[in-house]
Every structure is written in C-alpha cells, then in structure tokens.
Amino acid sequence: MLIVTGVPLFLMELSLGQYGAAGPITVWKCCPLLKGIGIGMLCVSTLVCLYYNVIIAWTFYYLGSSFQSPLPWSCEALANATICSGNITQVLGVVHSEGLHDPGPVRRPLALCLLAAWIIIFLCMLKGIRSSGKVVYVTATFPYFVLIVLIIRGATLEGSLQGVAFYLTPDWSRLANAQVWNDAASQIFYSLGIGVGGLLSMASYNKFDNNVIRDTIVITTGNCCTSFFAGFAIFSILGHMAYRKGVPVGEVADTGPGLAFVAYPEALALLPGSVFWSIMFFLMLFMLGVDTLFGNMEGITTAVLDEFPHLRGNPLQKSLFLGALCFFFYLMGLLLVTDGGIYWFTLIDSFSTSFGLIIITLFMCIGISFFYGVNQFCQDILDMIRHCPPWCGKVLIYFKACWVFCTPFLLLFILTYIFIEMYRTSLHYGDYVYPLWGKALGVCMGATCCLQILIWAIVAISKETGTLKERFQKSIRPLNSWRQNTLNSTVRAEVHVEPEQVDAPYTVTLTDMDITARTWDMGSQA
C-alpha cells in the first residue's frame, strides 16, 4: 500500500502544491472542474480537527494525572482496589452514558484540557507557517528521543522478547482478508497525511525548484521506518505486561484509543519508576498530536486565506479568523468530552477518513492523470527540478504507471470492500452497538465530503458557455493565472494569489518555429 498508493499520491500532492503555490482549493486552477476535491479535503480536515484535538485533551488529562504516585490507573491506587485495572471508561465517564442518544453532561476536567489544547494550537499558529515550522523542530524530534528511551527500557524487562516475537511474526493467511488491505490503506493515508489538504498547503511554501521527488522518497521512507521502529517500544513493554499477567500478548494488545489510553498506560504502571515513564509517554503523545493537528489546521487556514487574500494581508483580521476557527472547533468538540463523548468520537473517527477520503484521492489521481494530463504533470515536475539527476526521469516512469493504472485500481478495490463491509457489519464501541440512525449519520459525514466533487463540478460547468461538451472541455483547461503564477517563480512568498489576475482558460498559440525549435523559452512563449 505504501509503494503503490502512499508514495505516488504523496508525490502528486507535494508536486501540485509546490508548482501551483496555492492551498487545496486555489490549486485547482489547473483544472477548475475539480475544485470540489479541494472543498472535500477541507471538509475532511474539519472533521479530523474536530475530534483529533480531543485526543490531545485526553493526553493532557493523563499527563497531569501522571504526576501522582501511585498512578491513578495502577493497582496500588485506592480507587482501583476492587477492579485493579485503569480504564479509559473511568476517565471519560462512559459508565454514566447509555449510548449515542445519551451524551450526558460535559466533563469539566476534559473541557478545560480541550480548551488548553486549542489555546496552544492557536498560539503556535498565530504567526503563520514560520512559527509553526519552528515548533515542529521540537514536536517532531522529541518523540524519537522518547521512543529510544522506551525501547532501551523495554529490552531490559522480562517477557519483552515475547512481545517482540508477537510483533514480528507474520500470519500470511491474513493477506487473503480484504480488511487487512483496508487497514493498511488507512494507516498509510493517515500517517502520511494524504487527502486532507495539509500536504498541498505545506508544499505551497516550498521554493519552486525544490526537489519534490527526493523529499517524497525521504519522507515516506522515514515515516514507514519510524512506524516500524515504534512498534518495538510498544510491544516490548506489552510483552512484559503479558508476562506479569500470565496471558498471551494478543490478550493485552488493543487497537485505536484503547492501546494508547488503556493497555500501554496499564503496562507502564507495572514498571519501576512508573511515574517517570508515564510522563515521558504522554508527553510524546502530546507532541505527536500537535504535529498531526498542525498539518490539518494549516490545510484549512491556507485554503481560506488563498480564497480571501485580504485576510492574509491584515495581521489583525488573520488572527481574529484563526481565533474564531479554534473557538468554533472547541465549542463543537465539547460534545466529545461529555459522558457519552467516546461514542461520538468513535463515530466521527470511523467515517471522517473512510470512503469519503478514498473517493477524494481517487478523483484527484484520475483528474490529474486524464484531465490535466499525466505527461504535462510530469513535465511540470521536471520544470521544478531544474538540475534533475538522471534518475529523476526514470523514477517518474514508475510514478506515471501508478497514477494512470495501479493506484486508481487499488483505490477502487478498497472502496468496493469498504461499501460491502459497511452494508454487512454494524458499528460498535466495546459492547455497544450503534443504532441504524447513528450509522446513517456517519455515512452522511463521509458523503458530504465526497459530494463536494460533484457539486462544484456542476458549478464549474454551469459558468461556461456553449454545448455541454464545450462547457466540459473549457472547465478542465487551466486558468490563465495558473500558468502566470508559476512560470517565473523561484522563491515562494507569503501571498499565494494575485487578486488582480483575471482568470480565463489558459491557451497558447504556437507557430511552426515553436514546434521545430530545439529549445523552448517558456518565458517568451508566455
């Protein structure tokens, strides 16, 4: 999934954002028909931001609780004397909620943690990409330090090899299960940030001649290796926990929030010096959460500021917009920190990056390959990499094959499986089975994201004149400002869009001399 979908789509977003010097909406001047892809990305980012900062709020809560000795979720804690097991349901108050229809009151400690989380995000992003870029130097490097420390500590524990063996032993028969491929796709999309607009926004600030192919290979490889490396830190300590309890590792491992907020904290509580290890772990989770949220928030803010350039030029208005955006997300997130908030959290988590995200990336891949033109797109990449090593052109042959055939085919396979499973299986959290109306609400969330493609395609066609075929052909041509904004760009400025530019379908009249000339002067041709 990494090689056939993750890396090609990562390069596509990175190249598109860098070449167009625009966010996820404005960048579709290259093909106005597909502007809805950018709107859809914005919808996905909104849903992700809505629930993801709740994870940071939980991390805050656990981090603050970690300064107590013994840890509140350890067997030594007085509150756990009868159950001898810390549990996320105790923290979230799920025991007081009957389900999705019964959210109950807002839990004040979690609401305060959520407010603190949004204030930190606001302050880190206040001065734009430069300030958040400096923050990432800390938030991106500190987790590596913690992982190394946890791996060293885990290797000294009894039973750690049992956990590592469980982690590294493959069950090849599982490859015949489509769910495994769906899980792999979810992991790759989520860890690389594909399809949510953050990559397009970040890349739009790159220098025009930045080597995107090199960046893609380095980042995707580093990301995959980091995930593999982190597994040793997790499963070595889970192996020790299984050894202490006398059960198989598979019985103490968990998925989703349960791993980070139930199984692993419980395992850390068994270690000598558990308070220190717990503080380090949740501080690492906080850093990782902030990194993820930066990418999504940057996608939203860049998209809006590109569409309304006057906000970018006025620092006060920009700050007010960012503050209002963070406050809106905080108010909406209060539903997720109620007694039954975990049920709503699971619903949004299950459908926000499900079939809607796959459809958005599928249309992005098809649109760039067949409407904008895969040959033109590859030429754009070569134009950016002015001193391209010989291997760049050869690598692009592979990416071209993926964009045209392999990636869309695999995405269609996953999409088909998702729809089949969505119809056949019910959504549940623990023993709670979601009602039909709850599942329908989740489907509406995903549908809202991908339907933007159809809605804005109709809008783009309706703005043109002529027959339906002529309108369609005009709506897939790059606008004039698309080329003008990229031909002579060497360094990206803070302002992405020239508001005085008149947008019209881009056309070039060529003469016989243009066809027969050995070298093309792009500046003079324009």
Domain ranges of the chain: 5-79+117-476
Q: How far is residue 299 from each of residues 14, 48, 130, 136, 152, measured CA to CA in Å?
A: 13, 12, 15, 16, 37
Strand segments, DSSP code E, in 360-463 are 428-429, 432-433
Task: Please work out, in degrees rounded to the nearest 5, the angle formed at the alpha carbon of residue 367 by the alpha carbons of 417 and 382.
Answer: 120
Six token digits for residue 490 = 């060497």
Q: What pTM was computed for the model?
A: 0.85
Question: What pLDDT, on a 0 to 100 scale, did the predictor assign at position 309?
Answer: 81
Cβ neighbours, 10 Å, residue 32 = 23
Mean pLDDT, residues 90-98 taken together: 73
Confirm whether residue 288 is marked as ligand binding: yes
Got the DSSP string for 238-267?
A: HHHHHHHHTS-HHHH---THHIIIIIHHHH
Confirm whether residue 349 is marked as ligand binding: no
Closest among 43, 9, 11 to 362, alpha carbons compared: 9
Q: Please give the CATH number for the structural domain made up of 5-79+117-476.
A: 1.20.1740
Tokens 């050995």 -> residue: 518
Whether the per-residue pLDDT at 407 is higher than 60: the answer is: yes
* Percent of the chain at pLDDT exceeding 90: 34
CB-based contacts of 175, cutoff 8 Å, min separation 6: none
Six token digits for residue 62 = 């656990």
Closest among 181, 223, 205, 227 to 7, alpha carbons compared: 223
Question: What pLDDT, on a 0 to 100 scale, did the predictor assign at position 175?
Answer: 85
Mean pLDDT, residues 51-62 taken together: 90
pLDDT tens-place string over residues 277-307: 889 889 888 888 888 888 888 888 888 888 8
**With contact defined as beta carbons under 8 Å apart, do 24 and 299 qualify?**
yes
Tokens 């891949």 -> residue: 365
Amino acid at 8: P
Whether the per-residue pLDDT at 487 is higher than 60: the answer is: no
Question: What pLDDT, on a 0 to 100 scale, did the predictor assign at position 78?
Answer: 52
Confirm whether residue 485 is marked as ligand binding: no
* Percent of the chain at pLDDT exceeding 70: 86
pLDDT tens-place string over residues 106-160: 999 999 999 999 998 898 888 766 666 677 777 778 888 888 988 898 888 888 9
DSSP at 335: G
Whole-angstrom distance, CA of residue 437 vs CA of residue 434: 8
**With contact defined as beta carbons under 8 Å apart, do 300 and 293 qualify?**
no
Confirm whether residue 160 is marked as ligand binding: no
Whole-angstrom distance, CA of residue 405 vs CA of residue 27: 24
Whether the per-residue pLDDT at 519 is higher than 90: the answer is: no
Six token digits for residue 163 = 């956990």
Omega of the bond prior to 70 within 30 degrees of 0, cis? yes
Question: What pLDDT, on a 0 to 100 scale, did the predictor assign at position 115?
Answer: 95
Q: When comparing pLDDT for 7 and 88, which is higher?
A: 7
HEC string for 70-111: CCCCCCCCHHHCCCCCCCHHHHHCHHHCCECCECCCECHHHH
Question: What pLDDT, on a 0 to 100 scale, did the predictor assign at position 2?
Answer: 92
DSSP at 370: I
Whole-angstrom distance, CA of residue 92 vs CA of residue 95: 8
CB-based contacts of 326, cutoff 8 Å, min separation 6: 118, 119, 121, 122
Q: How far is residue 7 from each of residues 218, 292, 381, 403, 494, measured CA to CA in Å?
A: 10, 19, 15, 11, 28
Mean pLDDT, residues 50-65 taken together: 89
Tokens 């990229």 -> residue: 486
**With contact defined as beta carbons under 8 Å apart, do 158 and 240 qualify?**
yes
Mean pLDDT, residues 330-355 taken together: 90
